[in-house]
Chain A
């Protein structure tokens, strides 16, 4: 399925083309993941093939339990695929690495460390060559970015869900990875905070000349379209596969208020809606 925006601005297609011609950042080759459970082997995802270019923002969308986190886990190296290969930045993924920053779905903060220490320890671990003053500066910068500087001395147990999520985001950003893997990073945030986090994410991406690759799981169709270059829609599990990849050829910078009136936006939105919610379209893979 290809989309032909009705009124695509000239630079939109060419910008898209530019991305397509960039080197691959992540290559998923025939990835399957099966879990051993007491009831036997459970295949979560099967035969996933996907290449993500450097600097691309890709949204991963699909029903709960279909295997999005599992797929993210194979890219981050936290989960070893049962078969297939993952290549990140030209290297076969054998485990986690500092080139890939992860925001876990459940935040995964260390409950005995303050907000500040949670980020500092990650920074300290990744930037071994930097002085402690530099590392403190990085920590401070990232905490300020997510507006948590006033809360830096709190323990995770004293934070709201949204605040925890922002600490996790700041931690992933702080290690300045070339690939950011975000598993429902904005799920627990209110619309307002979510909006400003979207801007921060794009700012960060722009700051680095759009060289960072971002893969993000979301349940929010509007968010997926606003942020990404492609939306990967997954089938329901078990043995989930990629159902369809929808290109989002909307020019950047995008304006949240304006793009919703863009016919191309509406077309993408409709397509995603029907892929996710139309019962009849479930069989069309």
Chain B
């Protein structure tokens, strides 16, 4: 019985180890097939360690530690994401609860949502006269859609029962928004935020390749120019890990705000 329990607790760990082995195996195989043009895991590992050993060094604008690059990217992502959410949540609440607003705004969303956020980059440059502003702008555009759509959907699906309570007890508009609409829509809003941050983290890499400067995306591009594939592969692993952590963070929020 005790043995079984142990197996149960170690099972996730075993699977984790298993998937790492598969990844490393595939990677190693490809590396072999390309005659180490793609560096092997081991070759990458030493570069990776080097990068992590001094993450925050700063030798001028084109030579900064991976930590500096990550922090710059994260600041951009959270600025754009924060601004996007500030627009998306209230707008979502509005179009979810008001049919007229929905019918007016929904076509606009439908047209703009499929556009790659990078297409907004030149407009951002025009508006902000700087690559920094333009990058934050494309993250802003990216993070609006999932949050907006999920919020609106959440609000629109409030059960009649809950509306009835508000109606029967004469809730004021403010009380209805704060005690009925927002609590009901909150799990949907967080789902939207979770999707938004995920896409924003994907887009930032591409955005920074366009904008240059400091950032994980630029780091990838710069490593390509320096022909350091080890650095690129390390950066991919780091980008993936940070993305996973962001997702886990919002997953935690989602569980935290789910009502029984």
Question: Do A and B assemble together?
Answer: yes
A113 cross-chain contacts in B, Cβ below 8 A: 179, 183
Total contacting residues, chain A, CB less than 8 A: 26
CB of A175 within 8 A of chain B?
A: yes
**CB < 8 Å: which of A102, A111, A157 contacts B168?**
A102
Return chain B residues, CB-CB under 8 Å to A110: 162, 165, 179-180, 183
The reply to whether the CB of A112 lies closer than 8 angstroms to some CB of chain B is yes
A125 near B172: Cβ-Cβ < 8 Å: yes
Instruction: Determine which of B167, B183, B186 lies in contact with A96 in the assembled complex, contact meaning CB atoms within 8 Å.
Output: B167
Beta-carbon contact of A122 and B260 below 8 Å: no
Asked whether any CB of chain A lies closer than 8 Å to the CB of B175, the reply is yes
> Given known contacts A113-B179, A155-B260, A157-B259, is B169 in contact with A125 (CB within 8 Å)?
yes
Expressed in whole angstroms, the Cα–Cα distance for A190 and B169 within the complex equals 28
- Chain B proximity of A122: nearest CB distance (Å): 4
Contact B170 A96 (CB under 8 A): yes
Query: Are A157 and B260 in contact (CB-based, < 8 A)?
Result: yes
B128 within 8 Å of A (CB atoms): no
Please tell me if A121 contacts chain B, counting CB pairs below 8 Å.
yes
Given contacts A111-B259, A155-B260, contact A98 B170 (CB under 8 A): yes
Point out the residues of chain A lying under 8 angstroms from B168, CB to CB: 76, 78, 96, 102, 104, 108
Q: State whether B170 touches A158 (Cβ < 8 A).
A: no
Chain A stretch 102-128: residues in CB contact (< 8 A) with chain B: 102, 104, 106, 108-113, 121-122, 124-126
Question: Which residues from B are CB-within-8-Å of A121?
Answer: 169, 171, 175, 179
User: What A residues does B167 contact at CB under 8 A?
Assistant: 78, 95-96
Chain B residues with CB under 8 Å of A171's CB are: 169
- Which A residue sits closest to B161, measured CB to CB? A108
* B164 contacts partner chain A, Cβ-Cβ < 8 Å: yes
In the bound complex, residues from chain B placing their C-beta under 8 Å from that of A104 are 161, 164-165, 168
The winner among B168, B170, B171, B260 for most chain A CB atoms within 10 A is: B168
Is B184's beta carbon under 8 Å from chain A?
A: yes
For A126, what are the chain B residues with a Cβ–Cβ distance below 8 Å?
169-170
CA distance in complex: A158, B260 (Å):
8
If over half of A's interface residues share one DSSP class (helix, strand or loop), that class is named, otherwise mixed; here it is loop
CB distance from B138 to the nearest CB of A (A): 35
| Residues 150 to 205 of chain B near chain A (Cβ within 8 Å) | 161-162, 164-165, 167-172, 175, 179-180, 183-184, 186
Tell whether, in the assembled complex, residue B170 and residue A97 are in contact, meaning their CB atoms are under 8 Å apart: yes
**Cα–Cα, bound, A155→B162 (Å):** 15
Chain A residues near B162 (CB, 8 Å)? 108, 110
The CA of A219 and the CA of B2, in the complex, are separated in Å by 54
List chain B residues, Cβ under 8 A from A97.
Answer: 170
Nearest to A121 among chain B residues (CB) is: B179
The residue in chain B whose Cβ has the minimal distance to the Cβ of A128 is: B172
B176 CB, nearest partner CB in chain A, Å = 9
Q: Is the CB of A111 within 8 A of B260?
A: yes
Chain A residues 181-231 with CB under 8 Å of chain B are none
Tell me how far the C-beta of A142 lies from the nearest C-beta in chain B, rounded to whole angstroms: 14
Cβ-closest chain A residue relative to B176: A125
Q: Mark A132-167, 1 if CB is under 8 A from B, else 0.
A: 000000000000000000000001111000000000
Chain B: CB-nearest residue to A123: B169
Partner of B170, one of A78, A106, A109, A125: A125
Residue among B172, B180, B186, B259 with the highest chain A CB neighbour number at 10 A: B259
Using A78-B167, A108-B162, A121-B169 as known contacts, list a sample of 20 further A-B pairs with CB atoms less than 8 Å apart, ordered by residue number in A.
A76-B168, A95-B167, A96-B168, A96-B170, A97-B170, A98-B170, A102-B168, A108-B164, A109-B165, A110-B162, A110-B180, A110-B183, A112-B183, A112-B184, A113-B183, A121-B179, A122-B165, A125-B171, A126-B169, A155-B259
B-side residues, CB < 8 A to A, are 161-162, 164-165, 167-172, 175, 179-180, 183-184, 186, 259-260
23 contacts between A and B (CB under 8 A): A78-B164, A78-B167, A96-B167, A96-B169, A97-B170, A98-B169, A98-B170, A106-B161, A110-B165, A110-B179, A111-B260, A112-B183, A112-B184, A112-B186, A121-B169, A125-B169, A125-B171, A125-B175, A155-B259, A156-B260, A157-B259, A157-B260, A171-B169
Spell out A's residues near B (CB within 8 Å): 76, 78, 95-98, 102, 104, 106, 108-113, 121-122, 124-126, 155-158, 171, 175
